Amino acid sequence: MKPDHLHFFIDPSRCIGCQACVQACSECDTHRGDSMIHLEYIDRASSIQTVPVVCMHCDQPTCAEVCPADAIKRTADGVVQSARKPRCIACGNCVSACPFGVPEVYEERKIMMKCDMCYDRTSEGRKPMCATVCPSQALFYGTRDEIERLRPQSTPINRFQFGGQAITTRVFVMAPRGLAGLAPHLDVTAAMDEYAPARPLALKMAAAADPFDDVEI
Amino acid sequence: MAGEIDRDTLSVPPDGRPLSEQPAWRQDFPIDWPQDHYVERRDFVKFLTLTSLAFTVGQFWIAGQNWLRKRQGLPEMRRIAGVNEVAVGATVVFDYPAMHDSCILVRLSDAEFVAYSQKCTHLSCAVIPRPDQGVIHCPCHEGFFDLRTGRQVSGPPPRPLPRITLEIRDDVIYATGVEIRTI
């Protein structure tokens, strides 16, 4: 049973894209070689900023709602577990349904596996593996007091709006304190519609001459 | 702190209404682990009663089968082959008692004949007699039976092969019955 006073906080702005969490996760014996955490690029074309994606452990788990085989269960401490092996039929409904893009189907093993917050560790009060290795502490596991003391500029948010679907999660995302005061939840789909204004981009190249002038074919 | 949270009903349905207003299937397929693992006393008693009832009915079924088999009496006698047609160590395949019940007849010596059903007692593969080694071999899972008695020697077969009782009259071998053995 995960202790109630310990929470998982994700601070995307601190992510430096080092992939340490991915490496640490894939070394776990329960899913050796496969990482249950992955890094998403926010806007690959214009930025190298990444976001670590772990299971958010929703209070209304959409993956479990859509599971036709009744394979995704949530333990009493609020952690949504990986698919139960005897039940999972690897249909991939959860993959399509999860608003955060967390579950993955492993075709060769015919099972869905996802982040379970390192249940073997957190149920004993230890930190998840990714949180122990993150050098910039973009992944933080601890108490509310600790995070408030360490990050005075940010505030944890666990309410998200995906179109008409409102979701509260066990995992918190750190948002700037000023923004969090304006809206108590993150409207994810609205943020996706908002395109940043196009800005001119010039690549500095040696004069305007054809760089392939002296190439002989 | 743990007492404040009702750990059995953590998950909230998407429409947010209480469980009493939800469709019945939500109670049958709960998302929360404790509810999923919860077995009602009534369900457990139902399981026990129905299972023991099934076992009891099974006993009567077996008894009924035995009674029917006894009532049918011995199958008809059938000619297999002439004594001179089977060399020592040779095998004859024949059908007994019905059309598709394959059996094997082996001549062990001048005066000794044995016959068994060809159906392995494990998974009904056709067994092959090996008179030179004194065994009957089932190639499917490497089961071996003793050639003289038909009892299982090694491998997965759970019972001896059914023995076909033989009778020799005027140099002709007849099958007279099937002896099913459980041990």
- Least confident residue range of A93-107, B7-21, B27-41, B129-143: B7-21
Looking at residue B3, its pLDDT comes to 42
Binned at pLDDT 50, 70 and 90, residue B2 comes out as very low
Q: Bridge-partner residues for B56, per DSSP?
A: none
Query: A-contacting residues of B 16-75, CB under 8 Å?
Result: 29, 31-34, 36
Q: DSSP per residue over A51-102, as a string?
A: EEE----BSS-HHHHH-TT----B-TTSPBPPPPTTT-----HHHHH-TT--
Q: What are phi and psi of A199, to 5 degrees?
A: -125, 145
CB contact, 8 Å: A158 with chain B? no
Binned at pLDDT 50, 70 and 90, residue A133 comes out as very high
Looking at residue A2, its pLDDT comes to 79
Binned at pLDDT 50, 70 and 90, residue B99 comes out as confident
Q: DSSP per residue over B92-131, as a string?
A: EEEE-SSTT-EEEEEE-SSS-EEEEESB-TTT-PBPEEET
Binned at pLDDT 50, 70 and 90, residue A195 comes out as low
Looking at residue A215, its pLDDT comes to 65
Q: Which of B8, B11, B34 sits opposite A59 (nearest CB)?
A: B11
Residues 6+ apart with CB under 8 A from A149: none
Read off the DSSP letter of residue A151: -
Question: If phi over 0 gives left and psi between -120 and 50 gives alpha, with beta otherwise, what is residue A40?
Answer: beta
Residues 6+ apart with CB under 8 A from B31: A61, A64, A65, A72, A73, A74, B11
Query: What are the structure tokens assigned to A39, written together?
Result: 């890094």
Q: By the 8 A CB rule, do A88 and A109 touch? A: no
Q: Which of B1, B29, B31 sits opposite A74 (nearest CB)?
A: B31
Q: Bridge-partner residues for A159, per DSSP?
A: A168
Looking at residue A206, its pLDDT comes to 53
Kindly tell me if the per-residue pLDDT of A196 is higher than 70. no
What digits encode the pLDDT tens for the residues A157-167?
999 988 888 89
Looking at residue B1, its pLDDT comes to 37
Looking at residue B6, its pLDDT comes to 57
What digits encode the pLDDT tens for the residues B65-77?
989 988 887 788 8
Kindly tell me if the per-residue pLDDT of A213 is higher than 70. no
What digits encode the pLDDT tens for the residues A173-188?
998 887 777 777 888 7
Kindly tell me if the per-residue pLDDT of A31 is higher than 70. yes
CB contact, 8 Å: A4 with chain B? yes
Average pLDDT over residues A125-141: 93
- Least confident residue range of A101-105, A189-193, B35-39: A189-193
Q: By the 8 A CB rule, do A90 and A107 touch? A: yes
Kindly tell me if the per-residue pLDDT of B53 is higher than 50. yes
Binned at pLDDT 50, 70 and 90, residue B126 comes out as very high
Looking at residue B39, its pLDDT comes to 86
Put simply, the answer to whether A76 touches B1 (Cβ < 8 Å) is no
Element (H, E) at A25: helix A20-26
Domains observed in chain A = 57-114 (3.30.70.20)
Alpha-carbon distance of B10 to A2, in angstroms, equals: 14
Put simply, the answer to whether B14 touches A165 (Cβ < 8 Å) is yes
Burial A118-149 (b: 16+ CB within 10 A, else e): bbebbbeeebbbbbebbeebbbbbbeeeebee
Read off the DSSP letter of residue A153: T
Looking at residue B28, its pLDDT comes to 82
Looking at residue A26, its pLDDT comes to 94
Element (H, E) at B60: helix B41-72
What digits encode the pLDDT tens for the residues A80-90?
999 999 999 99
Kindly tell me if the per-residue pLDDT of A216 is higher than 90. no
Q: By the 8 A CB rule, do A188 and A175 touch? A: no
- Least confident residue range of B8-12, B122-126, B149-153: B8-12
Mean pLDDT value across chain B: 88
What digits encode the pLDDT tens for the residues A134-164?
999 999 999 999 999 999 888 999 999 888 8
Looking at residue A65, its pLDDT comes to 92
Average pLDDT over residues A41-46: 86
- DSSP 3-state assignment of B66? helix
Contacts by B11-14, CB closer than 8 A, 24 or more apart: B11/A59, B11/A60, B11/A61, B11/A64, B11/A74, B12/A59, B12/A60, B13/A60, B14/A60, B14/A62, B14/A65, B14/A165
Alpha-carbon distance of A142 to B34, in angstroms, equals: 26
Put simply, the answer to whether A76 touches B8 (Cβ < 8 Å) is yes
Which residue in the block uniquely carries the two structure tokens 């408030």? A148
